Amino acid sequence: MRFSILVFSVACLAIFTQCGQQSSNQSTQRSWEQIECNGTPHARHECSFVEVDGKFYLLGGRGIKPVDIFDPETKTWTQGAEPPLEVHHFQAVAYKGKVYVMGGMTGKYPHEDPIPQIVIYDPAQDQWSLGDSIPANRQRGGAGVVVSGNSAYILSGITDGHWEGHVKWVDQYNFETGEWSVLQDAPRARDHFHAALYDGKIYCAAGRNSSAKTEETFNLTIAEVDVYDLASNSWTTLPEDQNLPTERAGTTAIFLEDNLLVIGGESAAQETAHAEVEAYDVSEAKWTQLDMLERGRHGAQAILYDQSVFIAAGCGNRGGKPELDTIERY
């Protein structure tokens, strides 16, 4: 009888261990696929892609383009309203059914202007509006933005387009009160990146210090990963052996389970946009190369929906052409 119990216990332990391994390895067993759609969105880059109430909203980019709306159930694209101004180089966020643009740019390369106000899109009304002003001395574009609780957090960025003015700033915006707070600076400045929230911490990976002024627009990429703790208003930098494996900017970032995915991008190392998808496992403290995008792209944003990652639009080469109109799922 004791032998039978021991065998049963070992078998249960083996099954439990295997299930745990399957869960932790789930993100590495997937592959990217391009979705065949009904209709086509506007080709665009330096844009954002946000989910609200089961629909995906593709917004902004160079030039003024209407919102494109994707229904993941029917795989159909429809069109929404145009924004009141050109909005690009931003990481849009959703809050209580609306999409918010802050920390973005408007205007032409290389001296794009920071957008001085929050720009809001209401999907239910298909209507754009201008929200609160951003403090004049904290305006910048190319910033990372996340939402936690009733607040948005705007991290780093650049004040003068692609020219100069790299900042380490961190600001908190309270959606309910409209109040702004200045938080602890990041360890280093970066722009052209996306931030990602996990377990009360904001991860800042990839990006660069854009410097057209010194003819180094694409060159000054950042390997270090900086992590902001919301509770303590403090920063840490991951050890050097946990630097981003492939340095690049123009990336998007999102958490899939406990893995930080850094997707796509551009760099001086190659003309084509990066197709790399690299995952940082928070529990294991290590990076893994995942399946590459079907089409390398930068200047796009990822959505996590129903345990799948979606990415649409972006640019297929370093710089601004060709703009893409495809959508992929992982």
**pLDDT tens, residue by residue, 115-152:** 999 999 999 999 999 999 999 999 999 999 999 999 99
What pLDDT is recorded for position 155? 99
Residue 190 lies in a domain: yes
Residue 144, helix vs strand vs coil: strand
Residue 14 lies in a domain: no
Nearest by Cα to 299 from 43, 34, 33, 48: 48
Q: Number of structural domains, the chain?
A: 1
153-162 burial by CB neighbour count: b if 16+ within 10 A, else e? bbbbbbbbbb
Whole-angstrom Cα distance, residue 120 to residue 286?
37
Domain containing 80 equals 36-329
120 and 130 Cβ atoms separated by less than 8 Å: yes
Omega of the bond leading into 322 within 30 degrees of 0 (cis)? yes
What pLDDT is recorded for position 13? 39
What pLDDT is recorded for position 7? 37
Residue 305 lies in a domain: yes
Residue 29 lies in a domain: no
Residue 22 lies in a domain: no
Backbone angles phi, psi at 186, to 5 degrees: -70, 160
What is the pTM (predicted TM-score) of this model?
Answer: 0.92
Whole-angstrom Cα distance, residue 152 to residue 50?
15
Q: What does the DSSP assignment read for 60-101?
A: E-SS----EEEETTTTEEEE-PPPSS--BS---EEETTEEEE
What pLDDT is recorded for position 5? 40
Where residue 103 sits, what CATH number does that domain have? 2.120.10.80
What pLDDT is recorded for position 9? 41
What pLDDT is recorded for position 25? 53
What pLDDT is recorded for position 29? 82
Placement of tokens 């020219």 in the chain? 163
Token pair recorded at residue 220: 């000054």
Taking 50 as the pLDDT cut, the residues of the chain under it are: 1-24
Residue 3 lies in a domain: no
Residue 118 lies in a domain: yes
Q: Which residues pair with 153 in a beta bridge?
A: 146, 172
Residue 153, helix vs strand vs coil: strand
Residue 295 lies in a domain: yes
